[in-house]
Amino acid sequence: MNEHSIRRLVIVGGGTAGWMTATALRQLLYPELSIEVIESEEIGIIGVGEATIPPFRRHNALLGIDEREFVRGTQATFKLGIEFRDWARPGDSYIHGFGTLGLDLDGQPFHQYWTRALQMGVAKDLGLYSFNVLAARQGRFMPTPTDAPKDTPLEDIVYAYHFDATLYARYLRRFAEAHGVRRIEGRIVEVGLRPDTGFVDTLVLQDGRTVSGDFFIDCSGFRGLLIEQRLQAGYEDWSHWLPCDRAWAVPCENVVPPTPYTRATARPAGWQWRIPLQHRVGNGHVFCSRHMSEDEARTVLLENLEGRPLAEPKLIPFHGGKRRRAWIRNVVAIGLSGGFLEPLESTAIHLIQTAIAKLALLFPERDCSEALRNRYNAQMDEEFAWVRDFLILHYHATERADTPFWNYCRTMEIPESLREVIALFSDSARIIPRTDELFKTVSWAQVMIGQRIKPRRYPPVIDRLTDAELTKFVKHVEEVVGSCVAVVPAHEAFIARHCKAPPP
Ligand SMILES: Cc1cc2nc3c(=O)[nH]c(=O)nc-3n(C[C@H](O)[C@H](O)[C@H](O)COP(=O)(O)OP(=O)(O)OC[C@H]3O[C@@H](n4cnc5c(N)ncnc54)[C@H](O)[C@@H]3O)c2cc1C
């Protein structure tokens, strides 16, 4: 730290974004930095956002949190992937599993061998070659065992969690406060700017208290209290590509053992999520209000619950898109205030995490140099665009023509960047992910195949194997995956033995 360093960091908002930011920056930045979180219990948090993807585990690792204690403390379950039901055609089901898919050979991804095997008539369902998908289908889970046999999928079991968002925010808050983060309860009613620079200077609370800082992180949720209401960053609206703009959310009773995966079931004007926790199931219906009324969408949700609802459904309106600039002057927006892409692939918490990691690398001095701001904004623009393209793929690559909503999605114009990915895969089963892109070849392959995109051919190098060798290869992979899954305990049994949460 020197005389130009930021000394007071103020985080506005104590939802998942606010507390994740506070806990991570406490670990990643210099100890002299004072960190304060202002939140308003009266406003509360959004309370959804309960399914994660594997990079999330890095956050807990950074904080040194014990996994089993975390699972117990947030009523969490384990997640091996996401099941998509009825997306390409009614009746379809595929799982986008985390981790590996089959076995890459001579530098070529497995799905290309599978494509050839399919054309020869010797390939089975793609999921049978993925440890995560097969284990998910059979309701099994365990983390990587210490005695995993070499060169098998058991050597690195890739997973994430489902957790209770409210318990998670509380959990992080306790951690943050124990590590010196100061929490201020109160509703901010005014945001003061320095006259010379236009930097945010002081926040005025409803009871008249003021909080000053050198640098502010806006985690105030959809309100965008600083970034939009005060600094008017502007919003890039992507609803022409991601037309869903509302969600009804409701928890219900658990009536079956928790599945180790999230489910996303297509509905006439959107889709429904199912997130199993230890003490309840989180459900929501994401829909497009141009194609379905709020009342109808609520009925669709309530008619498709497995158990008794445990609360009144809550309506959450949103717009798919992102802030034009996430960092303006001395304010960075992280979380819903920075943008929102619907929860189909559980990416919002990941976008919080990646924003924090980038900010930690580019954390400025008090002048917040333009070069740093530009770099950060460009990187976040890229992150959002990659996730956006992956989400659009699920809607657009469909054969469904049974409702006006699906007709729109199937025939809509898509971003050029996504069009190129689909064209390359359709031509020759090739997938070349962009550097640093969140979703890698395995994810794109599973979703494109699951959405029934059929490659016309495969790369010529795949013909290096004879027909007999290829048949033997895919059979071998299937057997290895099957034998590995067979030793994994039931998800419910694993939780009961190692991390059962107390009743809520
Ligand atoms: C329908 C839906 C489903 C989702 N599902 C998933 C999912 O499965 N997986 C996933 O990764 N993400 C999901 N998300 C996103 C996820 O919920 C959010 O990214 C995450 O909860 C972070 O929210 P937040 O902290 O930005 O905002 P919030 O939780 O809204 O927190 C905002 C905070 O700001 C405070 N605040 C606001 N105004 C003031 C003020 N004037 N004064 C003082 N304090 C103020 C509030 O009190 C609160 O503490 C979902 C989102 C939606 C809408």
Q: What percent of the chain has pLDDT over 70?
A: 100
The C-alpha angle with vertex 385 and arms to 218 and 282, in degrees rounded to 5, equals: 65
Q: How far is the CA of 121 from the centre of ligand 1 (A)?
A: 48
User: In the chain, what is the greatest distance between 2 CA atoms, to the nearest angstrom?
Assistant: 79
Question: For the chain, how far is it from start to end, CA to CA, in angstroms?
Answer: 44
247 lines ligand 1 (CB under 6 A): yes
Atom in ligand 1 nearest the alpha carbon of residue 48 = 17
Q: How far is the CA of 18 from the centre of ligand 1 (A)?
A: 9
What is the rounded distance in angstroms from the CA atom of residue 213 to the CA atom of residue 374? 22
Atom in ligand 1 nearest the alpha carbon of residue 187 = 42
Look at ligand 1, atom 33, and give the residue with the nearest C-alpha. 13
* List of domains in the chain: 8-76+163-236+320-386 (3.50.50.60)
The owner of tokens 């009804």 is 248
Using only the alpha carbons of the chain, give its radius of gyration.
Answer: 23
pLDDT category, 256, cuts 50, 70, 90?
very high
pLDDT category, 415, cuts 50, 70, 90?
very high
How does DSSP assign 142-192, residue by residue?
A: ----TTPPTTSGGGS---EEE--HHHHHHHHHHHHHHTTPEEEE--EEEEE
The mean pLDDT of the chain is 97
> Residue 137: what pLDDT?
98
Q: What percent of the chain has pLDDT over 90?
A: 98
CA distances to 103, 341, 431 from 391, in Å: 26, 8, 16
Of the candidates 410, 413, 424, 287, the one whose C-alpha atom is nearest the C-alpha of residue 343 is 287
Query: Ligand 1 test: best mutation among 20, 36, 46, most atoms within 8 Å of CB?
Result: 46
Look at ligand 1, atom 31, and give the residue with the nearest C-alpha. 15
Read off the tokens for 57.
């585990």
pLDDT tens per residue, range 435-450: 788 899 999 999 999 9
Q: How far is the CA of 41 from the centre of ligand 1 (A)?
A: 13
Does residue 139 come out as left (phi exceeding 0), alpha (psi in the -120 to 50 range) or beta?
left
- Determine contact, residues 292/269, Cβ cutoff 8 Å: yes
318 lines ligand 1 (CB under 6 A): yes
What is the rounded distance in angstroms from the CA atom of residue 130 to the CA atom of residue 151? 14
What is the rounded distance in angstroms from the CA atom of residue 127 to the CA atom of residue 147? 25
pLDDT tens per residue, range 144-178: 999 999 999 999 999 999 999 999 999 999 999 99
pLDDT category, 1, cuts 50, 70, 90?
confident
334 lines ligand 1 (CB under 6 A): no
How does DSSP assign 233-266, residue by residue?
A: --EEE-TTTS---EEEEEEE---SPPPSSEEEEE
284 lines ligand 1 (CB under 6 A): yes
Of the candidates 241, 382, 205, the one whose C-alpha atom is nearest the C-alpha of residue 320 is 241
What is the rounded distance in angstroms from the CA atom of residue 314 to the CA atom of residue 329? 35
pLDDT category, 413, cuts 50, 70, 90?
very high
3-class DSSP state for residue 203?
strand
pLDDT tens per residue, range 345-369: 999 999 999 999 999 999 999 999 9
- Determine contact, residues 259/276, Cβ cutoff 8 Å: yes
223 lines ligand 1 (CB under 6 A): yes
Annotated catalytic, 79? yes
Q: How far is the CA of 48 from the centre of ligand 1 (A)?
A: 7
Does residue 198 come out as left (phi exceeding 0), alpha (psi in the -120 to 50 range) or beta?
left
pLDDT above 80 (res 493): yes
Q: How far is the CA of 451 from the centre of ligand 1 (A)?
A: 30
Q: How far is the CA of 153 from the centre of ligand 1 (A)?
A: 35
What is the rounded distance in angstroms from the CA atom of residue 356 to the CA atom of residue 24? 7
Q: How far is the CA of 463 from the centre of ligand 1 (A)?
A: 50
Query: Ligand 1 test: best mutation among 12, 20, 43, most atoms within 8 Å of CB?
Result: 43
Query: Ligand 1 test: best mutation among 19, 48, 281, most atoms within 8 Å of CB?
Result: 48
Query: Ligand 1 test: best mutation among 226, 334, 336, most atoms within 8 Å of CB?
Result: 336
pTM above 0.85, yes or no: yes
> Residue 438: what pLDDT?
87
> Residue 311: what pLDDT?
97
355 lines ligand 1 (CB under 6 A): no
Atom in ligand 1 nearest the alpha carbon of residue 39 = 44
476 lines ligand 1 (CB under 6 A): no
> 149-153, 182-186, 371-375: which has the minimum mean pLDDT?
149-153
Of the candidates 151, 154, 150, 149, the one whose C-alpha atom is nearest the C-alpha of residue 135 is 154
Mean pLDDT computed over 266-285: 98
450 lines ligand 1 (CB under 6 A): no
Q: How far is the CA of 60 from the centre of ligand 1 (A)?
A: 19
Atom in ligand 1 nearest the alpha carbon of residue 186 = 43
- Determine contact, residues 254/276, Cβ cutoff 8 Å: yes
> Residue 450: what pLDDT?
98
pLDDT above 80 (res 190): yes
What is the rounded distance in angstroms from the CA atom of residue 376 to the CA atom of residue 332? 10
> Residue 434: what pLDDT?
79
What is the rounded distance in angstroms from the CA atom of residue 37 to the CA atom of residue 211? 10
Mean pLDDT computed over 464-475: 98
15 lines ligand 1 (CB under 6 A): yes
